[in-house]
């Protein structure tokens, strides 16, 4: 390691009292120890904030705010941070002990970049480990060429508990979209991909838990269309946006949004949420009628079949 580097770890907390200790302990157990932890209590009422206060480590700060949503909570944490680099961790996920050490090595080797990601694994509802697909050579470490196309075919490339962000650039982009809690993270990763290179290291360094309060179900079952769809489809209708980024960026973005819309619809159908699936599909009509028709067609298939296809398409089980 060639330079000293401190990290600010931002943990948004809303009624995750059953999991916050696991998240905090995973940070405190890091092999690289130069960090601060900022937990933003977003109006929790399950005692999770009291658990945070029970820690005596002076590197942990707790910020209380009225319930405002995960985007504002994350942005609040960034605004209060003291370090140049921000790492995100959801309160129901955890890091491997080498997470920050791996990030430190990436910062040393790619000092002029703004966003870094490490591979994650998924712990399913039945406790099994799943390796999400990554459409890159094994052991990849460096810039992800054609990130949006790679992202389209990868489910383990980036998430809100696997990234490190240069604070100044994050603030320049405007941070997470205030008031949005579905698709807010995908919006930000796509925005980064349009504007700069993304560094990825193919080493599992974090765990995403699907069982925590049925988070995967809650994320797809909201009545509102996920933010990244409405935002980027609206931009793609503008000639100025297409002219600015060119087909090299906009064509992969269109493919990604179409693919995600189909998978999103399939997930809703698999959960027997056909009413929400139909509502989302119809809202897509004014944004992109072809994607709308694709999503309507998907709804003709049985729920069980779509559930099986979705799992097979996106994941491979970790070796036992």
Note the pLDDT tens digit of each residue in 120-178.
Answer: 999 988 888 999 999 999 999 999 999 999 999 999 999 999 999 999 999 999 999 99
311 or 108, which is more confident: 108
Q: What topology is assigned to 7-213 in CATH?
A: Spore Coat Polysaccharide Biosynthesis Protein SpsA; Chain A (3.90.550)
Chain position carrying tokens 């370090």? 83
Q: How far is 130 from 255, CA to CA, in rounded Å? A: 25
Model confidence at 319, in pLDDT bands (50, 70, 90)? very low
Model confidence at 221, in pLDDT bands (50, 70, 90)? low
Of 112-116, 208-212, 230-234, 269-273, the least confident? 208-212
List C-alpha distances in Å: 163 to 114, 181, 210, 265: 10, 18, 18, 27
User: What would the DSSP string read from start to end of the chain?
Assistant: --S---EEEEEEESS-TTTHHHHHHHHHT-SS--EEEEEEEES--SSHHHHHHT---TTEEEEEE----HHHHHHHHHHH--SSEEEE--TT-EE-TTHHHHHHHHHHHSTT-SEEEEEEEEE-TTS-EEEE---S-TT-EEE-TTHHHHHHT-SSS--TTSEEEEHHHHHHHT-SPTT--SSHHHHHHHHHHHHS--EEEEEEEEEEES-GGGHHHHHH--SSPPHHHHHHHHHHT-HHHHHHHHHHHHHHHHHHHHHHHHHHHHHHHHTT-HHHHHHHHHHHHTT-HHHHHHHHHHTTS-HHHHHHHHHHHHEEEPP-
Residue 217 CB neighbours (<10 A): 14
pLDDT for 320: 35
Residue 208 CB neighbours (<10 A): 22
Model confidence at 30, in pLDDT bands (50, 70, 90)? very high
Domain boundaries of the chain, sorted by first residue: 7-213, 221-315
pTM for the predicted model, two decimal places: 0.92
Q: How far is 201 from 218, CA to CA, in rounded Å? A: 29
* Residue of 314, 319, 98 lying closest to 210 (CA atoms): 314
152 or 269, which is more confident: 152
CB contact set of 144 (below 8 Å; sequence gap of 6+): 136, 150, 157, 197, 198, 199, 200
Note the pLDDT tens digit of each residue in 36-65.
Answer: 999 999 999 999 999 999 999 999 999 999
Model confidence at 311, in pLDDT bands (50, 70, 90)? low
Backbone angles phi, psi at 91, to 5 degrees: -65, -20
């Amino acid at each position: 390691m060639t330079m000293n580097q401190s990290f600010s770890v931002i943990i948004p907390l809303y009624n995750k009292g059953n999991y916050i200790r696991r998240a905090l302990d995973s940070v405190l157990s890091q092999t690289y120890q130069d960090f601060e932890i900022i937990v933003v209590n977003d109006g929790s009422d399950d005692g999770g904030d009291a658990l945070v206060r029970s820690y005596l480590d002076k590197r942990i700060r707790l910020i209380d705010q009225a319930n405002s949503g995960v985007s504002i909570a994350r942005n609040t944490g960034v605004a209060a941070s003291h370090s140049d680099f921000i790492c995100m961790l959801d309160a129901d996920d955890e890091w491997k002990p080498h997470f920050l050490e791996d990030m430190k090595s990436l910062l040393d080797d790619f000092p002029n970049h703004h966003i870094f990601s490490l591979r994650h694994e998924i712990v399913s509802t039945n406790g099994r480990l799943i390796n999400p697909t990554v459409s890159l050579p094994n052991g990849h470490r460096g810039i992800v060429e054609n990130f949006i196309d790679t992202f389209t075919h990868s489910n383990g490339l980036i998430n809100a508990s696997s990234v490190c962000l240069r604070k100044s650039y994050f603030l320049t982009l405007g941070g997470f979209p205030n008031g949005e809690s579905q698709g807010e993270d995908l919006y930000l990763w796509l925005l980064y991909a349009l504007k700069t290179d993304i560094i990825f290291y193919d080493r599992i360094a974090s765990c995403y838990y699907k069982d925590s309060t049925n988070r995967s179900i809650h994320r797809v079952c909201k009545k509102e269309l996920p933010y990244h769809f409405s935002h980027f489809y609206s931009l793609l209708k503008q000639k100025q946006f297409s002219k600015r980024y060119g087909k090299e960026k906009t064509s992969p973005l269109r493919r990604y949004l179409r693919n995600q819309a189909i998978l999103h619809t399939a997930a809703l159908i698999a959960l027997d949420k056909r009413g929400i699936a139909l509502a989302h599909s119809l809202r897509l009509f004014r944004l992109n009628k072809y994607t709308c028709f694709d999503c309507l067609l998907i709804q003709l298939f049985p729920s069980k079949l779509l559930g099986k296809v979705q799992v097979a398409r996106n994941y491979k089980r970790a070796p036992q």
